[in-house]
Amino acid sequence: MSESVGMLVLRSSIRFLLLVVLAVLALPAPAEDEPEGEKPRVWTSVDGRKLTGTLEEKGEGWVKLKIKGKVYNLKLEKLSKEDQDYLKTHKIRKPLEIRTELKSYKDNDLEQTVMTLDVEFANMEENSELYLLLVWISKKKSDQSGGSVGIKGKLECFYDRDGVYSHEASFYDNKNGEDFRGWAIRVMDMKGAVITERASASSYLRYLETVVTRRAPVPPEDGK
């Protein structure tokens, strides 16, 4: 009897480990080269004192350093010549920011609702490009069962600079039209690494896995 119980426990443990492994494999790959912003470095004052801080801003004759959570405005002349030379050529790196905003309006002439998803990119690196996949999700008005929620359409776009980019989809209001349900996006770098995945509802993220894409960057094979 105890042997049977032990086998059941062993089988349950193996199933659990397999589920954990599968869940980890299913997670999107992080972007290794995604801009992370400035990292802390050691700065040296003209009298030789050292402090660790993060560069926040710089200007003509001044610099702002974040030290232990507080931002200090320092005169450039207070830093060592090595640090001053570093600041002359260094360009401040800020984290990539991605914002979304959904808008809508009624087109009474065409009897449709137009949905617009604005996607804003800020702090993109120079000479870089991002891939955006947008999936619109809807439900047929004629279906009263609630089982016809699915992908209405998709967009694949590439952006190489900061800006706010608008993407539209129309949903007809007649009985044969479709009700807007939501959206989902995936942003990738040109190496095929996923930077972020977002959706109007977390359950809609699954549509990013089922939609067929034709232009998405492909990660390099291991060892290549």
CA dihedral (84, 90, 95, 99) positive or negative: positive
| CB neighbour list of residue 106: distance below 8 Å, 6 or more residues apart | 112, 113, 114, 173
| Mean pLDDT for the stretch of residues 139-167 | 87
Residue that wins the pLDDT comparison between 209 and 141: 209
Lowest mean pLDDT, pick from 4-18, 92-106, 198-212: 4-18
Under the banding of pLDDT at 50, 70 and 90, the label for residue 25 is very low
SS percent in the chain: helix, strand, coil, step 5: 20, 45, 35
CATH assignment of 96-210, among 3.40.630.30, 3.40.720.10, 1.10.1740.10, 2.60.40.10: 2.60.40.10
What's the CATH code, domain 41-89?
Answer: 2.30.30.700
Give the residue extent of every domain in the chain: 41-89, 96-210
How far, CA to CA in Å, does 128 sit from each of 119, 131, 144, 164, 190? 17, 10, 46, 17, 8
Cβ 187 vs Cβ 193: under 8 Å: no
Q: Strands across the sheet with 112-122, in order?
A: 97-107, 112-122, 163-172
Over residues 87-135, the pLDDT tens digits come to 888 887 788 999 999 999 999 888 899 999 999 999 898 889 999 999 9
Q: What is the mean pLDDT of residues 139-145?
A: 75
d(CA 148, CA 171) in angstroms, rounded, equals 15
CA pair distance 213, 224, nearest whole angstrom: 23
Q: What's residue 100's pLDDT?
A: 97
| pTM for this entry | 0.66
Q: How far apart are CA 50 and CA 34, in angstroms?
A: 30
